[in-house]
Amino acid sequence: MQQAQGPEIWIRGPVTVPEEPPGAVATHASARRFSFVGTHGGAGVSTLAAVYGGYDCGRDWPGPDAPASVLLVARTHASGLSAALHTLDAFRRGTAPHGLDLDAVVLVADAPGRLPKPLAQHVKVIESLIDVYRVPWVPAWRLGDLGGHPPRETAPLARLTGRSR
């Protein structure tokens, strides 16, 4: 049984720009770009970057050519959740590279079904610190099939990245 979440206060995703008055200089805003950063090996960074768009940083911090807006990625197993907390702590302590903007954590299911209670408690701790986007187990992704629509449970992540297919 999934826990119900309340309405979001902030609207995420692309925002329409009002028409400019005649004679004004036209400006064009582009959708926000993200760098997916894995908190541990096998987190799913490459898959998320392919499905939702964004820059695949692997386990490295974004370089100068990568977007400074960071989405941390972790699996929902014990070591993945611990790695996510460790990386969040690096931002809290100020030891993450200067100029990065930590936007959220993306938690990717490590297996089908519900999380065991101890892991769900770790997720609640992370959710108390930062926005969390959950990605369910997707059997097709395991086989390398990244086509089609993202799972409907990831609609908030798709809106954030501007990749609702």
Residue 3: predicted pLDDT? 44
Domains of the chain by residue range: 35-161
pTM above 0.85, yes or no: no
Give the pLDDT of the chain (165 residues) as one tens digit per residue.
444 444 433 333 343 434 545 554 444 445 579 999 999 999 999 999 999 999 999 999 999 999 999 999 999 999 999 999 999 999 999 999 999 999 999 999 999 999 999 999 999 999 999 999 999 999 999 999 998 889 999 999 999 998 765
DSSP code, position 24: P
Q: Give me the residue label for tokens 């826990």.
A: 3
